[in-house]
Structure 1
Amino acid sequence: MALTNGSSLQSIYRKFKPQLLMVLVQIGYTFLYFIAEASFNHGMNPHVYITYRHIVGGVLMLPFAYFLERKVRPKLTVALMLEIFVLSLLGVGLTLNMYFASLRYTSPTFVASMVNTIASLTFVIAVVLRLEVLDIRHPRGMAKVLGTLISLAGAMTMTLYKGSLVRNLWQPLIRIDQGSAATHENWLKGSLLTVASCITWSIWYIMQAFTLKRYPAQLSLTAWMSFIGGAQSAVFTVIIEHKRAAWTIGFNIDFWSTIYGGIVVSGLIVFIQLWCTEERGPVFVTVFNPLSTILVAILGYFVLGEKLYMGSILGAIIVILGLYMLLWGKDGDQQAVHSNSQEQTYLTSKEQKENNKLILPSALKEGSQCEP
């Protein structure tokens, strides 16, 4: 009985492994939000943080990539290296620097609402490039469309609609210093940077699917993107930041946020996302993004004592509903692939049997002619 329960749990884990991993990814991003916010309020330059974070991530992943993928890692060509350079630019050097730069000119609420559109943008691009199977005549195809739209509506509700304030039940367990840095508002410039970062982020997810077909070594690709992206970010930071003091960090929250961001986010999370992209596609990975918004709101309310509005609760419910619908539609894709695989295996086996039937009488006939 225990053996049966163990095997059933194993089969459930194998079936829902990508979903579980992506939930863990969003939990990792949630903690990153708070520790990075504390570091920025302490005075750390966001662009320096991006550079150091990815260097740490590259150093972490390098030994694993070198030893574990020696036999499966394809040979690097000039064309493939150029492709990884562009992939690193889209995922790190360009996107993240534009994202953090946009925070200086707009508000975190606006940026959060725009970032939650990445899943919808990725879905549209994937459908256009035929990376995503979409048949709106089928219930599961319609579920993917409606799930994406509902999830987007829920994320926008969380960030743009407040509603009544939910009263705090107790004093905050942790307080984060908000700092004294003033925000220089320039909504036009900030909006353009935010929109551009969301578009490049979506293209980055899509491009991963193509690169992984030519370079199916997730650990090595993670290490390459960290090192190249960190170098690109360093060049960008040197251009806009002329103070040497900005590159100096002490053994404080700046150091720990860099270590956490490098090991957990630039290392482990990027590797998990690459694996899930290869298994389920880029749309599957991005559709989980609004979960971090929900987790940030919950953790901020219960632990940090931040304000929580009914709009956030309503938006969270809508996001979960949309996410469930889209994952149900995506599960139909996996079932279709499995059915096609079984059908192909059956047809191949049937063809082999037919060939054997044809070969066997001929062989017997030839054998009978050879007899004295």
Structure 2
Amino acid sequence: MEKEEVSKLWSIYKKFKPHLLMFSAQLGYTVLYFITEASFNHGMNPHVYVTYRHILGGILILPFAYFLERKQRPKLTVALLLEIFILSLFGVGLTLNTYFASLKYTSPTFVASMVNTIASLTFVIAVTIRLEDLDLRNPRGIAKVAGTLVSLAGVMMMTLYKGQIMRSLGHPLIHIPGKTSIHKDSWLKGSILTVSSCITWSIFYIMQALTLKRYPAQLSLTAWMSFVGGAQSAVFTVITQHKREAWIIGFNIDLWSTIYGGVVCSSIIIFIQLWCTVEKGPVFVTVFNPISTILVAILAYFIFGEKLSTGSVIGAIIVIVGLYLLLWGKEGDAKVHIKPEDQSSVSHEDNKTVKISSAEKNVYVLNCEP
């Protein structure tokens, strides 16, 4: 009887393993927002953080990419290196520098909510360049358009309308050092930076889909982008930051936030998302993105004592509704149809190949998180 119970528990675990992993990934991103905000308030330069984090992430991913994809990597050419350079600029160098800089002027709740708009912006760009099919005679096609418009409406509300400040329930359980009230001008500056980063992030996902066709080694490409993006961020930091002290990290929150970002977010979560994409497809991965938004809002209000505005809360809800409309519309795109007569001849390894092909076709909707 005990063996049967263990067997049942094991089968349940295997069934829900991707769900548990993706929920854990969103928990990891939730912690990221607060630990980086605390680090920036402590005085760490966001551009130095991006540089150190991605160099560390690249070092950790490199051995896995080297051994696991030894036979999969194509030969590097000058044209491909240039493409990786531009891809790294949009994926790391430009995007994440503006993204994390915006966290200094806004709040974790706002930034986490805005991430959900990347799928909608990517869809708009994909349709414009005809990488995405749009059939308005199909309910799913209508859902794609409706979801995009609803998400963008939520963004406009969060950016332009703050509304009344929700009353705090008491003293925060955890205080983030250096946290002060955000001025209206700073909020607008931060909003512009966040929106800009989401636009460039969307361009990155489109480019990533095209680059993966010529360089289909995902781990190796991630390692390349980490090193090249980290180098780009270093050059940008040297130009904008002339103080040598900015590069020095003490044994404090700055060190822990860098290690956390490099080890957990740029390495472990990347592995989780790649595995879940192969097993369940890209739509499954993106469905979990709003979880971090909800968790950040709950923690920010109840634990860290962050002041939430009604405009931000309503706007975030609208963005999430729009995201799920878009994902429902795209769900049909990620399905792979196999004829019944061919199903028996497909081996376990072939099934995985089919899933990977499905993921690569819609790869631009992957991992809309920092």
Distance 1:181 1:169 in 2: 17
> Compared with structure 1, are the counterparts of its residues 27 and 134 closer, same or farther at alpha carbon in structure 2 (3 Å cutoff)?
farther
* 1:198 matched residue in structure 2: 198
Distance 1:299 1:314 in 2: 17
Can you give the 5+ residue segments of structure 2 that lack an aligned partner in the other structure? 344-370
Is 1:240–2:237 an aligned residue pair?
A: no
Shift of 1:273: 5.4
* 1:141 matched residue in structure 2: 141
Is 1:86–2:83 an aligned residue pair?
A: no
Shift of 1:311: 4.3
CA contact (8 A) 1:208 1:274 kept: no
Radius of gyration: which is bigger? 1
> Compared with structure 1, are the counterparts of its residues 102 and 71 closer, same or farther at alpha carbon in structure 2 (3 Å cutoff)?
same
Letter of the 1:33 partner, please give it: Y
- TM-score for the superposition, normalised by structure 2: 0.76
Distance 1:98 1:269 in 2: 22
Shift of 1:87: 0.9
> Compared with structure 1, are the counterparts of its residues 94 and 274 closer, same or farther at alpha carbon in structure 2 (3 Å cutoff)?
farther
CA contact (8 A) 1:113 1:156 kept: no
CA contact (8 A) 2:121 2:148 kept: no
> Compared with structure 1, are the counterparts of its residues 301 and 81 closer, same or farther at alpha carbon in structure 2 (3 Å cutoff)?
same
Distance 1:10 1:129 in 2: 41
Shift of 1:36: 0.4
Per mean C-alpha deviation after superposition, the further-off stretch among 75-84 and 113-122 is 113-122
Distance 2:190 2:13 in 1: 48
CA contact (8 A) 1:144 1:330 kept: yes
* 1:342 matched residue in structure 2: 339
Distance 1:172 1:146 in 2: 39
Distance 2:156 2:86 in 1: 30
The one-character-per-residue Cα deviations of 1:220-273 (angstroms, maximum 9, x if unpaired) are 111111111111111111111111111111111000000011112222344555
Distance 1:323 1:175 in 2: 32
The one-character-per-residue Cα deviations of 1:292-316 (angstroms, maximum 9, x if unpaired) are 3332211111221223444455445
Can you give the 5+ residue segments of structure 1 that lack an aligned partner in the other structure? 347-372
Equivalent positions of 1:61-72 (< 5 A) are 61-72=61-72
Distance 1:191 1:176 in 2: 21
> Compared with structure 1, are the counterparts of its residues 22 and 330 closer, same or farther at alpha carbon in structure 2 (3 Å cutoff)?
farther
Shift of 1:177: 1.0
> Compared with structure 1, are the counterparts of its residues 180 and 5 closer, same or farther at alpha carbon in structure 2 (3 Å cutoff)?
closer
* 1:178 matched residue in structure 2: 178
> Compared with structure 1, are the counterparts of its residues 166 and 198 closer, same or farther at alpha carbon in structure 2 (3 Å cutoff)?
closer
Aligned pairs, how many?
340
Distance 1:125 1:295 in 2: 29
Q: Secondary structure at the match of 2:318?
A: helix
Percent of aligned pairs with the same amino acid = 71
Shift of 1:287: 7.4
Is 1:99–2:99 an aligned residue pair?
A: yes
Letter of the 1:60 partner, please give it: L
